[in-house]
Every structure is written in structure tokens, then in C-alpha cells.
């Protein structure tokens, strides 16, 4: 309050002559660049990238091992090792270029419009992954593990589908109502877990897993019951087609499958970014996620936050289910409509470090794996399972940051912590 307080506490110029580099680093606030570099090097972003690289590397080894030519040439490896090397190179480069051509740009097709189609496929596959990943990631930030993506997607898909084929509304409004209804369905389904956690302390992992089963069998039953979800006149457990009025438009024209759902995923990413980084709700979410005790003492209603977080998480996962039925599979769906996205979303959220844009990028990467995996198998005969193994390896490496750090000899975050300790250095300057 008085004039004796310096305005900027951290920057009293060292009284003596310029101290050695190490000391000055501790006294002056580190520059933005240093901070950013450290954050990248010791933080998690670089780990994610390196984990992907490592996984691709291990994937390459597996591709080589499973390749027939490599196996043949390996028999006479010691006579002509060159053959094996060439075969390995061909199999790996062939596989990964097929992956590229299947997911980003296909050079074999004539013209840009046809060549770029794989990228739009990637984005189509990425749409539900991003939406569901955002849902799982947001729950992570509040300290909750939402494994109920499957159930939430199924409920959301059913509600949106039911509105989509059972109702008659004008163009546009029909779609909006279907989207909102589906998201509401997902939100409520996840909200059950949030409410049970808040009220009874039931662990959300167990509750959401059980809700997956309940949703699956509930939807299966409704699909087999005429008058509910089953298409009239059919005996298959499948719904009728979604009405034209409710189907997502193809945003790049009819030759591409990319639909309006991708725009919704972008909007969802922006909204989640805003919630987490700019809104007071997100502030409370993160406080609860990092330290629920301190949050409670600071007057934050922790239980409400659990419920709100699960509602929003469920709505986002629900959006993934909605995008599936209104965008990707519009001809009627069955109980496999979730396509495992609810679980892939966990991977996406982990790879994206639970940050909205990280999840967005991770979702696109996984979309690319999905789109490219098929063409890899078709073009090069590489088993599609390899792609799944690569996906799993990514998560494995992310879960073990010290392993990745050791392989690439990165500084560990602990060493940085030690360096920021000294108040000590400052007192030297003050003396």
C-alpha cells in the first residue's frame, strides 16, 4: 500500500556487475521464448508428437515383418542382404504411402477434385472422433473418466434418429431439432453418472461402463420392437432411413461424403476452448479437476461441477452419435452405430492432452488412420490391424512419458522445477 513496494517485484536489477548466465536466468523472468521452448520440450505436446513418430516406427517394423517379400528375401539374407533391404523399404514405403494416399491426397486419381477426396474422407471419419474426444477430454479436465461414450452415443443416435425418421418438420428446423434432441439424450445419459457421483459418490468409471451395457441392450431391444426404432415392415434390427429434411447437407457438394457435422465439430471445439480457457465455468471445472478440496474451500460447488461437466461431456459425445446417424449412415442404423468411437475418443483425448485444439488435431490424425487404413489394406495387402496396433502404441507411449523422454533424451520436467526454486538466488542479489 505504501511507496516502498516496488511495482515489479521480479525485476530488481542485480546491484552488482552482470552475474554469470545461470544466475541471471533465475533473477529475470525468463523470456516468452524460453518459456515456450521449455513448455514444448518438457511439456506434453512434444511427447504426443514423438509418441506418434515412435508408433509409426514400430508400425514400420511390423509392416516389414508381415510382408511376404521381406519374408522371402530374408531366407537368403546372408547371400544377398540388399534384397531384404529393398523389400523392407518397398513394403514400408508402400504401406505408408498408401496410408497417405488413402487419407490425404491420391495422386493416382485424375484431377485435384478426385485426388483430394481422401482428405474429405479423413475429415468425415474425424468428425465424431473430435466431438466425442472433446466430451471425454472435458470430463478429464474436471477429474472424471467418462468411459460411457458408447452408451451416450447410442442414446444420442437413437434419439436423433427417432426425431430424424419419425417426425415431420420443415427443412433446417428438422435437422436442428434432431441435433439438439440427440445431444440432450447424450447429456442426460452421462448426467446420470454425474448425478450419482455427486449425490452418492458412485465412481463414474463403473457407472458409465454399466450405462454402456444398459444403453446397448436398451437400444437393441428398441431396434427389434416394431413401433419403437425398428423400420416398419422389416424384421431386421434396423431403423428406417432418416428423412431428407433432417440429413446433414454435404458441405463440399454431393461427390464428397464430408457433411455438416464437421462444421459442428469445429464449432464444438471453439466452444469447448472458450469454456475451458475463458469462462468462469471452465475455471471452476479445472479447479475441481486439479484440487477438489481447494475448490470446495474456495466456495466452488464441487458436486454441481461434476454434474455440469458430465452433462456437457455427454452432449459432446452425443454430438458424435448424432453426426453418425444424420451425416455418415443416413440409411438407417443398427446397434453397431457407435463403431467403437466412444472408446477411440478416450485415445483421442489422451493424445490431444485434453486440450480442445489438441483433441481436434488428434481426431483428424485418427480419422486419417481410419481412412488410410482401408486403402493400405486394399493397395498393399498390409493387414488393417497394423493401423490399430499403431493407434494403441501411440497411447502406450503417451502413457509413459519417461520412456519417450529417455528415447529422445529430452530434459525431464523435474530438472526445470529445481531451477525455479531459488528465491535463494534473489536474496543473494538483495544482500
**Of the two residues 57 and 270, which places its CB atom closer to another protein in the complex?**
270
List Cβ<8 Å contacts ≥24 apart for 284-289: 285/138, 285/141, 285/142, 285/309, 286/141, 286/142, 288/142, 288/143, 289/140, 289/141, 289/142, 289/143, 289/144
How big is the site for another protein, counted in residues (CB under 8 A)?
Answer: 47
Residues 17-56 touching another protein, rule: CB under 8 A, are 22-23, 25-26, 28-30
Interface pattern 358-397 for another protein (x via CB under 8 A): ----------------------------------------
| Selected range binding another protein among 130-138, 206-214, 313-321, 413-421, rule: CB under 8 A | 413-421
10 is a site residue for another protein (CB under 8 A): yes
201 is a site residue for another protein (CB under 8 A): no
Residues 263-302 touching another protein, rule: CB under 8 A, are 278-281, 283-284, 286-287, 290-291, 293-301
404 is a site residue for another protein (CB under 8 A): no
Residues 75-104 touching another protein, rule: CB under 8 A, are none
Q: Are 333 and 239 contacting, i.e. CB atoms less than 8 angstroms apart?
A: yes
**Of the two residues 30 and 115, which places its CB atom closer to another protein in the complex?**
30
To another protein, the closest distance from the beta carbon of 65 in angstroms equals 41
Q: Which residues pair with 226 in a beta bridge?
A: 230
**Of the two residues 1 and 17, which places its CB atom closer to another protein in the complex?**
1
For every residue of 8-58, DSSP letters joined together read -TT-PPPSSSPPPHHHHHHHSPPPHHHHHHHHHHHSSHHHHHHHHHHHHHH
Cβ partners under 8 Å of residue 370, min gap 6: 122, 125, 387
For every residue of 387-424, DSSP letters joined together read HHHHHHHHHHHHH-HHHHHHHHTPPPHHHHHHHH--SH
| Spatial distance between the Cα atoms of 275 and 214, rounded to a whole number of angstroms | 30
To another protein, the closest distance from the beta carbon of 53 in angstroms equals 27
To another protein, the closest distance from the beta carbon of 292 in angstroms equals 10
**Of the two residues 26 and 51, which places its CB atom closer to another protein in the complex?**
26
Cβ partners under 8 Å of residue 151, min gap 6: 189, 208, 211, 212, 213, 214, 215, 216, 342
Phi, psi of 245 (to 5 degrees): -60, -30
To another protein, the closest distance from the beta carbon of 351 in angstroms equals 20
422 is a site residue for another protein (CB under 8 A): yes
Q: Which three cell numbers stand for residue 411?
A: 530434459
| Selected range binding another protein among 82-90, 104-112, 157-165, 417-425, rule: CB under 8 A | 417-425
To another protein, the closest distance from the beta carbon of 110 in angstroms equals 50
Give the number of other CB atoms < 10 A from CB of residue 315. 28
Question: Smallest Cα–Cα separation from 412: which of 401, 396, 397, 420?
Answer: 401
Among 15, 111, 112, 418, binds another protein (CB under 8 A): 418
409 is a site residue for another protein (CB under 8 A): no
To another protein, the closest distance from the beta carbon of 296 in angstroms equals 7
Angle at 251 between CA 247 and CA 256, to 5 degrees: 95
420 is a site residue for another protein (CB under 8 A): yes
424 is a site residue for another protein (CB under 8 A): yes
Say how many residues make up the chain.
431
Among 7, 16, 200, 235, binds another protein (CB under 8 A): 7
Say whether 226 sits in a helix, a strand or coil. Answer: strand
Residues 297-356 touching another protein, rule: CB under 8 A, are 297-301
| Spatial distance between the Cα atoms of 308 and 295, rounded to a whole number of angstroms | 15
To another protein, the closest distance from the beta carbon of 269 in angstroms equals 18
Among 48, 146, 212, 425, binds another protein (CB under 8 A): 425
Q: Which residues are near another protein by CB under 8 A?
A: 1, 5-10, 22-23, 25-26, 28-30, 278-281, 283-284, 286-287, 290-291, 293-301, 415, 417-428, 431
Amino acid at each position: 500500500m505504501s511507496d516502498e513496494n516496488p511495482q515489479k517485484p521480479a525485476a530488481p536489477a542485480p546491484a552488482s556487475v552482470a552475474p554469470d548466465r545461470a544466475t541471471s536466468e533465475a533473477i529475470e523472468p525468463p523470456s516468452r521464448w524460453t518459456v515456450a521452448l521449455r513448455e514444448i520440450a518438457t511439456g506434453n505436446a512434444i511427447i504426443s508428437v514423438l509418441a506418434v513418430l515412435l508408433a509409426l516406427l514400430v508400425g514400420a517394423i511390423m509392416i516389414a515383418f508381415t510382408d511376404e517379400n521381406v519374408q522371402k528375401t530374408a531366407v537368403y539374407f546372408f547371400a544377398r542382404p540388399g534384397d531384404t533391404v529393398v523389400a523392407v523399404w518397398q513394403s514400408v514405403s508402400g504401406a505408408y504411402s498408401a496410408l497417405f494416399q488413402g487419407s490425404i491426397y491420391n495422386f493416382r486419381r485424375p484431377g485435384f477434385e478426385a485426388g483430394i477426396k481422401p482428405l474429405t474422407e479423413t475429415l468425415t471419419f474425424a468428425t465424431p472422433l473430435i466431438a466425442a474426444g472433446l466430451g471425454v477430454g472435458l470430463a478429464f479436465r474436471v477429474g472424471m473418466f467418462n468411459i460411457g461414450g458408447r452408451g451416450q452415443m447410442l442414446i444420442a443416435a437413437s434419439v436423433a434418429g427417432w426425431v430424424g425418421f419419425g417426425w415431420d418438420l420443415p427443412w433446417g428446423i428438422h435437422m436442428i431439432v434432431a441435433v439438439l434432441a440427440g445431444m440432450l439424450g447424450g447429456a442426460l445419459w452421462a448426467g446420470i453418472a454425474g448425478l450419482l457421483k455427486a449425490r452418492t459418490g458412485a465412481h463414474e468409471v463403473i457407472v458409465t461402463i454399466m450405462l454402456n451395457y444398459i444403453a446397448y441392450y436398451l437400444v437393441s431391444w428398441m431396434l427389434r420392437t416394431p413401433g419403437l426404432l425398428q423400420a416398419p415392415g422389416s424384421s431386421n434390427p434396423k431403423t428406417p432411413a432418416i428423412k431428407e429434411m433432417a440429413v446433414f447437407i454435404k458441405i463440399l457438394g454431393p461427390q464428397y461424403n464430408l457433411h455438416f457435422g464437421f462444421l459442428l465439430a469445429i464449432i464444438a471445439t471453439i466452444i469447448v476452448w472458450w469454456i475451458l480457457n475463458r469462462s468462469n465455468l471452465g475455471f471452476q471445472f479445472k479447479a475441481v479437476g486439479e484440487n477438489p478440496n481447494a475448490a470446495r474451500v474456495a466456495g466452488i460447488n464441487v458436486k454441481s461441477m461434476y454434474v455440469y461437466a458430465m452433462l456437457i461431456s455427454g452432449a459432446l459425445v452425443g454430438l458424435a452419435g448424432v453426426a453418425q446417424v444424420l451425416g455418415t449412415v443416413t440409411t438407417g442404423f443398427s446397434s453397431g452405430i457407435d463403431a467403437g468411437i466412444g472408446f477411440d475418443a478416450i485415445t483421442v483425448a489422451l493424445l490431444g492432452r485434453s486440450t480442445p485444439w489438441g483433441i481436434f488435431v488428434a481426431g483428424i490424425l485418427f480419422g486419417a488412420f481410419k481412412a488410410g487404413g482401408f486403402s493400405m489394406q486394399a493397395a498393399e495387402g498390409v493387414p488393417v490391424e497394423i493401423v490399430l496396433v499403431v493407434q494403441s502404441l501411440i497411447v502406450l507411449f503417451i502413457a509413459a512419458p519417461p520412456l519417450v523422454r529417455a528415447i529422445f533424451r529430452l530434459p525431464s520436467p523435474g530438472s526445470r522445477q529445481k531451477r525455479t526454486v531459488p528465491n535463494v538466488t534473489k536474496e543473494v542479489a538483495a544482500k
